[in-house]
Amino acid sequence: MSDTARATEPRVLIRPDKDTFLAEENPFEAMMERFDHAAKLLNLDPGLYKVLRNPEKQIIVSVPVVRDSGEVEVYTGYRVLYNTSRGPAKGGIRFDLNVTLEEVKALAAWMTWKCALVNIPFGGSKGGVVCDPTAMSMGELERLTRRYTSGIIETLGPDSDVPAPDVNTNERVMAWIMDTYSMHKRHTVTAVVTGKPVEMGGSLGRREATGRGCTFVTREALARLGMALKGARIAVQGFGNVGSITADLLAKEGAVIVAVADKSGGLHNPQGLDVPDLLRWVRERRQLAGYPKADPITGEELLTTDCDVLVPAATENVITRKNAPNIRAKIICEGANGPTTAAADKVLEEKGIFVIPDILANAGGVTVSYFEWVQDRGGYFWDEETVNRRLESIMVKSFHDVVALADKHKVNTRIAAYMLAVGRVAAMHRLRGMYA
């Protein structure tokens, strides 16, 4: 980082502190508060600071869909390309009623820093459609996906913008996007999306990648604190793809999963939950509620349960200035994007809790998405052992890069992660210069 962190006094004019409530409610401002801190420590040139603080492109499209009833509904879709200096934009697409432009913009920025942090040649993007996919038939979802894809198709492409699954989207949605794009291009383009079915050019190990990445960095964090993974007590908030796979992989390594939770409620057993049995229960009933072999708890109670590692793997802003003082975990591994507010960061640091920040902890997914993109473009596919081995190498190296920078600059791991990521993006801008 010596090429980006200089000994001179900072020249960046950081904005005045925002109201704490605003920072906790607005995901973009919360993320940018961390960016500002890193920018000041890196002494970014004011002009470059302005460039990195603004997204390159923000797209809003109307998505008309003919419902099965014959009625026409018009949905709103977004796609934000935050920064593409290091390579094609990379980022998921979510279908959810709570999608907003500010959220999509924040997630696109997070993807920019995440890709830079694990040093893969992508920029950051994100997309979403404001809708309730649970109230839509499969045919309606397909029509929504294809019309949204056609609305943003000018930005898409293996060399420009590569989507992936996110909240309420999956392999099937990616298959529809790939097919729609390919029909427009008049030839099959597998590398336009990642997270596809393996039969269509998807990568082995992609579905488990985010949870596997969380497992690798949790192991490294425990070792740093002189603790063993075997016997470590883990609480996981969120039992979707990331949370359930993280819990399963950690349990297989000998950790004790003492609590889990999803939207329907939580479960607690200080002696350890039977994760394979829980996975069977959720496959059959689609929720944790009603599981008879553990004590029920709320999601909020899970966050403050007595454990060694807390894995928030659900949604943004669940750890706030209000509940942070009551968290008893020694390590927080952020499986979700933005689960901790900026105001809560200060509390966690004062308590001495070791935080594995989201842009590191959940970077396994985009790393294996990168592997998928590489395999599609090369037309040569790897076995799962190769995928997992290469993922472990990148995640472990990135963890130790962040820790080394935190030790060097005497900052917490989140700020160190942002310094490393922002520094790499800034270095690329310096090398490329300003097009005018």
Q: DSSP H helical segments within 207-315, as ranges?
A: 209-224, 241-252, 275-285, 299-303
Q: Which residues, 6+ apart, have CB-to-CB distance to 99 below 8 Å?
A: 78, 128, 129, 130
What Cα–Cα distance (Å) separates residue 76 from each residue in 63, 96, 193? 6, 11, 21
User: Which pLDDT score is estimated for 27?
Assistant: 73
- pTM for this entry: 0.90
User: Which pLDDT score is estimated for 24?
Assistant: 52
Catalytic residue among 90, 105, 126, 196: 126
Number of H helices, E strands in the chain: 15, 12
Q: What does each of the 436 residues of the chain score in pLDDT, given as a tens digit?
A: 433 333 333 333 334 344 444 445 677 887 788 899 999 999 999 999 999 999 999 999 999 999 999 999 999 999 999 999 999 999 999 999 999 999 999 899 999 999 999 999 999 999 999 999 999 999 999 999 999 999 999 999 999 999 999 989 999 999 999 999 999 999 999 999 999 999 999 999 999 999 999 999 999 999 999 999 999 999 999 998 899 999 999 999 999 999 999 988 999 999 999 999 999 999 998 899 899 999 999 989 999 999 999 999 988 889 999 999 999 999 999 999 889 988 899 999 999 999 999 999 999 999 999 999 999 999 999 999 999 999 999 999 999 999 999 999 999 999 999 999 999 999 999 999 988 7
**Chain Cα centroid distance, residue 168:** 14
User: Which pLDDT score is estimated for 25?
Assistant: 60
What Cα–Cα distance (Å) separates residue 181 from each residue in 27, 171, 185, 191? 31, 15, 6, 11
What Cα–Cα distance (Å) separates residue 208 from each residue in 134, 293, 362? 24, 26, 11
Please say if 330 is a catalytic residue: no
Do residues 282 and 208 touch, judged by C-beta distance below 8 A? no
Residue 331's H or E segment, with its range, is: strand 331-333
Q: Which domains does the chain have, with CATH numbers?
A: 55-192 (3.40.50.10860), 209-361 (3.40.50.720)
